[in-house]
Amino acid sequence: MRKAMSILVLLVAALPLAAADGLQIYFVDVEGGQATLIVSPSGESMLVDAGWPSKFGQGAERIAEAAKLAGIKQIDYMFLTHYHMDHVGGVPEVAARIPIVTYVDHGPNTETDLMARGLEFSYKQAIGKAKHLVIKPGDHIPMRGLDVEVVAAAGAAISSPVPGAGQPNPVCADTKPIGADPTENAQSAGFVLRYGKFRFIDLGDLTWNKELALVCPANLLGTVDVYLVNHHGADISNSPALVDALHPLVAVVNNGARKGGTPKAWDVVRDSPGLEDLWQLHYSLAGGIRENSPEMFLANPEKGGACQGHWLKLTANADGSFSIFNSRTGFSKAYKR
């Protein structure tokens, strides 16, 4: 009986899931980087980052497989949050597997070392003659059926609140700035996505002080249903002022076994009022038994050795309800505020 159930779960996980109505978001396992595939109800797509280059994993193959499952034949928008290898490194290999129509980024790389210059060069080579948008806070990515508003880019933040936001944030009084971050993390482009009553936020690897610019003294971001945890769950991001202001119902962490998943940051997320569940792409070795979520919320529970590359899929409806599906187990959970 158990064997038959396992086979059924695998068959369900392998089925193309594009037939589902509403918004689809695939959280693709690139082992500690980011690759988030968003497919609108109209069928348009946006890939947020492309993970590592192939010498560090199978990210491009896994992204292409997610695109196939989603039923799309091109990436309409390649949204680059920043120029670190675990985000931009896989772009050329993804572009070789699936056509990319428009590239979106915050402008030139602010880091100038040899590796940074090499990453930017490879990215520009991938762009070639494709469309290219340099975004700033307040811009909107024109995806039909969605409102995707850029809230941070190139170290700047929106000056006006997104619709429904703008309330004073009392947690700011107890959240102090830390040392300035001179890296590309602080330059991360991020956005709030709205689909009907559903809200999702992705801020890339934005760090502490840049988070505060978005939520202090007033919360310019409003609340969200799903929070893609900043910086893979690092504790130089995920300030209490940000997480409390977002008030997420669900958090998703694109951590790796040995990357991200810092217990201090996860404690902040779990202490957020109203949080129901924390989903993870990986078991975190740093977190151990106390900090990791129950196994049903883990896409990849391996504590070492080869990773199987299982993904999480979110399906949202315009009424604000949504569900998350674990491709490893077939487990799914529905949510509604």
Model confidence pLDDT, tens digit, residues 49-66:
999 998 877 889 999 999
Query: H/E element holding 85?
Result: helix 85-88
The pLDDT tens digits of the residues spanning 84-121 come to 999 999 999 999 999 999 999 999 999 999 999 999 99
What pLDDT is stored for residue 31 in this prediction?
Answer: 86
Count of domains observed in the chain: 1
In angstroms, the Cα distances linking 279 to 24, 91, 96, 97 are: 16, 25, 31, 28
Element housing 265 (H / E): helix 263-270
Alpha-carbon distance of 231 to 253, in angstroms, equals: 9
- Report if residue 8 sits inside a domain: no
Of residues 233 and 55, the one with the higher pLDDT is 233
Coil, helix or strand for 70?
Answer: helix
- DSSP E strands, the chain: 23-27, 36-39, 45-48, 75-79, 100-105, 131-134, 140-141, 147-153, 156-157, 190-195, 198-202, 226-228, 250-253, 277-280, 312-316, 322-326, 332-335
- Domain assignment present for residue 90? The answer is yes
Query: Could you read off the pLDDT of 270-283 as tens digits, one per residue?
Result: 999 999 999 999 99
Model confidence at 305, pLDDT cuts 50, 70, 90, reads low
| Assigned token pair, 2 | 């158990």
Q: Determine the average pLDDT of the residues in 199-219.
A: 98
Mean pLDDT value across residues 234-250: 97
* Dihedral angle, C-alpha 315, 321, 327, 329, nearest 10 °: -160
Residue 136 in domain: yes
User: Per the domain annotation, does 154 fall within a domain?
Assistant: yes
Model confidence band, residue 7 (pLDDT cutoffs 50, 70, 90)? very low
User: Does residue 11 form part of some domain?
Assistant: no
Q: What is the pLDDT of residues 139-161, one digit of tens each?
A: 999 999 999 999 999 999 999 99
pLDDT at 307 over 50: yes
Over residues 171-194, the mean pLDDT reads: 97
C-alpha angle 240-337-255 in degrees, rounded to nearest 5: 45
Domain membership of residue 12 (yes or no) is no
Round the average pLDDT of the chain to a whole number and report it. Answer: 92
Q: pTM of the predicted model, to two decimals?
A: 0.93
Give a yes or no: residue 7 inside a domain.
no
Measured at the alpha carbon of residue 87, what is the angle toward residues 85 and 88, in degrees to the nearest 5? 70
Among 31-40, 161-170, 303-312, 322-331, the minimum mean pLDDT is found in 303-312
Residue 292 located in a structural domain: yes
Given this model, what pLDDT does residue 200 score?
98
Range of the domain at 250: 20-335
CATH number of 45's domain:
3.60.15.10
